[in-house]
Amino acid sequence: MTKIILLLLIVAPTAYGNFAEMFGSSATTSSIGNQANGDASDPGNAFYLPALMAMHDRTSFSMAAATVKTNFHDINNIITDNARTSSDPSVPISGDVNTDYPDVYNSAININLPLARNTGNIALSIFNPIGSLMEFNSGDSFLPEYVMHRARYKRTLIYGNYAKKLSPDIAWSIGFLFGIQSGGDAENQSALNGSSYGSSASMKVKARPTFAGAFSVLKKFKKSLLYFSYQQEMKSNTTVRANGVETNTSIPYDTTFETMTYFDPHVFRLGYVAKQFSHIHFFTSVEYQMWENYKTPVIRITKNSGSAIIGSDNAENIKTTNIIVPKFGMNFLITDKLTFAVGVNYRKSPLDSDFSGAGNSLDTDSLTSTTGLSYDLSIFGLDIELAGSFQYHKLKDKTVNKSANMENGLPGQKVGAGGYKIGGDIYVASLGATIQF
């Protein structure tokens, strides 16, 4: 089993969703509710509106570092094991569930590169956890898990686009998100204590790139900007087949392990930027996200022909719903160099459930308030913008009460019985800089 877990870690090069979707692509976009600010010189806009990059003829580069701290409600004194999840004769067992997830540290790099002879612009965004490329964590198979936050955004994301002006007021872009599909096979001969020889194993891993398309278009007016952008759904199912025989008893096993290691929904984004007043700018957008193909990261085990190992019962039946995410933000130009920003967005949970049935996957609606400051300066002939932002995510409180009987329908109590409250807070701080060459 240790070898199987190791293989899963090797073949899962990315994990779950993306950081920019949840917390912003830069300090400047994070401060107005995670949306485009309409400034063509700011490459942080490339994630939300890559067509905007075509409106700028200087190379620009931005970098940011962010930290995310979660503070979920405690889950105490619930059923943590029953006759379905454990062979312990003392079941059901009550206990506490750890909701103290580690802090997340992430970096963001955005680049806008104009091509020669006005042939267009290349925009590139890279988001990755600081100190690693990814973190794979399927979570516990039975205990409550905040599946959108356990490890969903702890992975590297690469987003590339080509942008081109059709006229001084109209631009478009086409691009891609980059991911990886992976799978593997493991063969093992397991020897128990007392054997005259040790265990042995072999494995092979295959990974291939996968891409999701992206498109955006904008129209500039005298003091405003209207835009539309689209990102295609992208998902990866990591699959591992493990087979072999226990040499002492000659018991064969042949099972397939599968998990959805990441998922990015279809996103349709319509936005508007208004600069009707010289010192106040308004930003609003609405996203339609399609989540019907999402699966939780719980590892699903399938029994193959001839195996003595029983597969998982997959009792959890998650229902998903497509969601609308409205966003609103404002910039206040305090001086010609100092800008104060505020924003808000509301994200309904794509998990359509009261969580009373079988399963452990949790999520709830969130209201996000954002703010930030930016300051412009010039050093050695370079135009530089320093920025910082802060976000407060308030998760909607919800009480979970499990229905009668165990997960398999037999008399007893489900894992999570006893009732608990979900919700809490998330805090996000970001610092960044933008340089124009």
- pLDDT value at residue 140: 78
Residue 116's contacts (CB-CB under 8 Å, 6 or more residues apart) are none
Residue 397's contacts (CB-CB under 8 Å, 6 or more residues apart) are 73, 364, 421, 422, 423
Q: Considering the entire predicted model, what is its pTM?
A: 0.88
What tokens appear for 3 in the block?
A: 């070898």
Quick check: 405 pLDDT over 60?
yes
Residue 182 — pLDDT band, cuts 50, 70, 90?
low
- The residue that leads in pLDDT, 313 or 1, is 313
Residue 167's contacts (CB-CB under 8 Å, 6 or more residues apart) are none
Q: Which amino acid is at 268?
A: F
Distance CA 265, CA 421 (A): 28
Percent of the chain with pLDDT over 90: 60
- pLDDT value at residue 64: 96
Whether the CB-CB separation of 105 and 65 falls below 8 Å is answered with yes
- pLDDT value at residue 131: 77
Q: Indicate if the alpha-carbon torsion angle 5, 11, 13, 17 is positive or negative.
A: negative
Tell me: the pLDDT tens digits for 300-325?
Answer: 888 888 777 788 877 788 899 999 99
- pLDDT value at residue 388: 98
Q: How far is CA 302 from the centre of its chain?
A: 26
- pLDDT value at residue 202: 77
The CATH architecture to which 2-436 belongs is: Beta Barrel (2.40)
Range with the poorest average pLDDT among 193-202, 283-292, 391-400? 193-202
